[in-house]
Amino acid sequence: MERNGLRFAFNIGILLLFYLNVIDSDKPEDTLEARFPDKAFPSGMMIYNKTIECSVDHQPGQFPAQTWTCKDMRVGGLRLAYGYNEAILKDNDKCKETGGRNELAEICRQMMDRIGSKKELWAAFVKNATCGRLDEKRFLLNMTAVNQYSWDQMNPGYGWIYTLRYMAVK
């Protein structure tokens, strides 16, 4: 009987500790995540012998980690190609021209290096990409060997990126 009482008291203690932890973590200041305005990448950075141009017209958003944005991105005056792996788009014949290859993380790492930042990459992501047709040539960065990259010029076609963002690890 005494053993059951101890077990009961122990279980109540565990429940009380859990309850106190839940109440303490429900404070609004604990649940609201810090937000950071993004910064614009400068225009005119050289990445693998091509000039990356970003618009100076930048209205910062709010992000959960430090973020840099290249709006209206162009590579050597052309758009950056965009597309999916064929396994993802089985029924769509558009946006397959890149074969899903695009070294966006490497482009972001190189851009961060050019601005002198050593922040570690958390995410490279696109905003305003389209699978629409573009009647001008586009560039695609490809990995040709370990730590070796080259720009491939693609013919007019489907898929291009308007904005590229780099989010750093917190």
Domain chopping of the chain, boundaries: 2-31, 36-168
pLDDT tens string 133-151: 999 999 999 999 999 999 9
Rounded to the nearest 10 degrees, how much is the dihedral formed by the CA atoms of 56, 62, 65, 69? -20
pLDDT tens string 2-30: 554 444 444 444 444 444 444 444 445 54
Three state DSSP letters for 30-53: HHCCCCEECEECCCCEEECCEEEE
| SS3 state of residue 39 | strand
